[in-house]
Amino acid sequence: MAIAWHWFVTYFMISWSIAQANTQENIVFQANYEDLNRGCWEGSFVLNECEERCECRNGELVNCYRVRKDFIKMDILERRRFLDAYKIVSTYPSFRKDYRRVVAYHIMYTPTELLHEGPEIFLPWHRWWLVEFENLLRRVDCRVTIPYWNWSRVANHWWGGFGKEDFWSPGAHGLGGDGTTPNLCVVDGPFSGDKWSLLKIGGGGCLKRNFSYLHLTGDKEHMKSTLALPVEEFLEFEEILREIYHNEIHWYVGGTMFTTEAANAPEVVPHHSFLDKIWLEWQKKGKEYKNVFFYDVPRKFPKTNYYGWQWLDSDNLPDQVKVMYED
């Protein structure tokens, strides 16, 4: 009787999963790999044990993508998972050396005039750097991906929202708020001065912010016009992302973000993730958009063996990494 009941429950759960998939764009989530095999049918899309979006082919999960999500739309558990992993890699001795290495790529090893003052490597270098950071976080929890902060939706009040909608929430599921006088240290959230500190290569001490309550240029309408730029105007597109969208957040958040040690600030990661999403959306307009410019740049990224052209295709990044963004 117990065995019969077990098989009935198993059959019911598989049938329920299939029914759910048919109403949710063929996406199924199962808790472990054995369940995945039972719930995998040809052509369906399945979330594996690391919550990557995979395709089922011949009973195997293939073409698995890391799914990056809008921080504001993530549930509390997902936010906490990301923030907890970030705090672990930046504070635990077993991870801190590698955390320092990843941050140092930005602060020490890549001259800012090369990285931020021209188009040669800005976009593909940061795509590589995000994967490096993400790889480190996934050593803590393989379900973690780097979220993005869609500041275009709150361009006229990016500095604050309401409750869960607030990127700068003072709770454990946000990044904390503005700094306070006289030293501009952040005093709330998971990165407050009494809970977390910057690396010494980033100046050490507390995380600082000094909000400028100014509207961002990159609102929804401006973003729409930027994404509409043709491939022939790639350099204009790139300059908008680098000189306007990128720089304004660094300037307006202020504090640590407005220094050469900005890679030490946790908000820099969701910020650059959104810039990468914008670039990827533009690239999806056609093959010529994906491959423009960087094949003609012969420069390797400092301290790596990578060229920019190796980081153009988010469907086929080095080391078999695939990245997609959820709207």
pLDDT, tens digit (0-9, with 9 covering 90-100), for 222-262: 999 999 999 999 999 999 999 999 999 999 999 999 998 99
Task: Over range 57-67, report the average pLDDT.
Answer: 94
CATH code reported for the domain at 70-295? 1.10.1280.10
Residue 37 has pLDDT above 70, yes or no: no
Q: Please state, in angstroms and rounded to a whole number, the distance separating the CA atoms of residues 62 and 40.
A: 11
Q: What is the DSSP string of 151-183?
A: GGGGTTSTT--SGGG-TT-SSTTS----EETTT
Q: Name the pLDDT band for 21 (thresholds 50, 70, 90).
A: very low
CB 228 within 8 A of CB 285: no
Helix-, strand-, coil-residue percentages of the chain, each rounded to 5: 50, 10, 40
The residues, ordered by sequence, that sit 6+ positions from 122 with a Cβ below 8 Å of its Cβ are: 115, 116, 238, 241, 242, 246
Q: What is the pTM of this model?
A: 0.88
Average pLDDT score over the chain: 88
Separation between Cα atoms, residue 205 and residue 259, nearest integer Å = 14
Per domain, the residue ranges of the chain are 38-67, 70-295
Q: Would you state the structure tokens that stand for residue 261, as one six-digit string?
A: 């040690």
Q: Which is more confident, 203 or 295? A: 295
Reported as a pLDDT band with limits 50, 70 and 90, residue 43 is confident
pLDDT level of residue 100 (50, 70, 90 thresholds): very high
**Which of 27-36, 68-77, 131-140 comes out lowest in average pLDDT?**
27-36
Give residue 30's pLDDT.
Answer: 37
Inform me whether the pLDDT recorded for 32 exceeds 90.
no
Strands 27-29 and 45-47: parallel
**Between 188 and 27, residue with greater pLDDT:** 188
Identify the residue with better confidence: 118 or 21: 118
Per-residue pLDDT, 25: 36
